[in-house]
Amino acid sequence: MAYVCDGHGSSPNGPSRSLYATLIDDGRRYTAHKRYCVNCMMEVFKDHQSDSLPGVVAFSLQNIEACTNCGSVVEHEARLKPLYVTAYSQKNMRVDYYGYYCEDCAVIVRNSFDLKESVNGKS
């Protein structure tokens, strides 16, 4: 079944890769579901590799005091905006990533992933 890649906007040959992203910002939830070709999925990972943590690493951290993108330290951990990303690079091959963003970087990542506010799971 043909699909349009959310990365470059045309219908590529080959299977799609899925990415689900959710940012929590002051009690509001911003979400997106993207479908990418293999090349665009690799670009997304490359663009965000320095500002996200693999799931296992994120769970092992006791407290996070700085933005994972710019490194600015925040007063309280609660001031960071968590981003949860689940990617399926192949069928049934799930990888989870987490990022914690200051106010300014949360706006950047929200625009980067084209996240839309959702209420009760609906945008």
d(CA 43, CA 61): 27
Q: What is the pLDDT of residue 117?
A: 94
Q: What is the pLDDT of residue 91?
A: 72
Cα-flanking dihedrals φ and ψ of residue 44, to 5°?
Answer: -60, -45
Q: Per residue of the chain (123 residues), what is the pLDDT tens digit?
A: 578 999 888 888 888 889 999 999 988 999 999 999 988 988 888 887 777 766 655 555 557 788 888 988 887 666 889 999 998 877 778 888 888 899 999 999 999 899 999 876 565
Q: 5, 35 in Cβ contact below 8 A? A: yes
Q: What is the pLDDT of residue 49?
A: 73
Domain boundaries, the chain: 17-118
* Sheet of strand 28-36: strand arrangement: 53-54, 93-101, 81-90, 17-25, 28-36, 116-118
